[in-house]
């Protein structure tokens, strides 16, 4: 399996629930995340923009993926987006 196949098989909406144990503080913390993986074509404007931003020829990209993560932890809240431009 290559990275392109991995992202294609991972595309969709995912849910993660985890518990972190802080032994030094004798506490635990629950967290939940909603993760969305979208596959983008190489001619998608966001893929082209990302290539240009990092001085990569858009023709060198073989696919693109957008990973959005919205998570909450008991102690704080998080929200991140991760862009992936996958080249040959």
Q: Band the pLDDT of 86: cuts 50, 70, 90.
A: low
Tell me if 71 is assigned to some domain: yes
Tell me if 26 is assigned to some domain: no
Query: Is the pTM value of this prediction over 0.75?
Result: no
Q: What is the mean pLDDT of residues 31-36?
A: 93
Model confidence at 16: pLDDT above 70: yes
Per the listing, tokens 């596959």 go with 39
Tell me if 58 is assigned to some domain: yes
Q: Band the pLDDT of 23: cuts 50, 70, 90.
A: confident
Rounded Cα gap, residues 65 and 16, in angstroms = 19
The domain of 38 spans 3-11+31-87
Q: HEC states along 23-87?
A: CCCCEEEEEEEEEEEEEECCCCHHHHHHHHHCCCCHHHEEEEEEEEEEEEECCCEEEEEEEEEEE
* Per-residue pLDDT tens digits for 74-85: 766 555 555 555
Show the tokens assigned to 65: 């993926």
Instruction: Name the percent of the chain lying above pLDDT 70.
Output: 84
């Amino acid at each position: 399996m290559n990275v392109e196949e991995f992202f294609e098989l991972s595309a969709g909406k995912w849910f993660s629930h985890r518990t972190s144990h802080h032994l030094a503080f004798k506490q635990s913390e629950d967290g939940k995340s909603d993760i969305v993986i979208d596959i983008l074509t190489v001619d998608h404007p966001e893929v082209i923009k990302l290539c240009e931003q990092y001085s990569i020829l858009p023709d060198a990209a073989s696919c693109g993926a957008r990973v959005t993560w919205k998570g909450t932890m008991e102690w704080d809240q998080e929200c991140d987006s991760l862009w992936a431009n996958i080249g040959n």
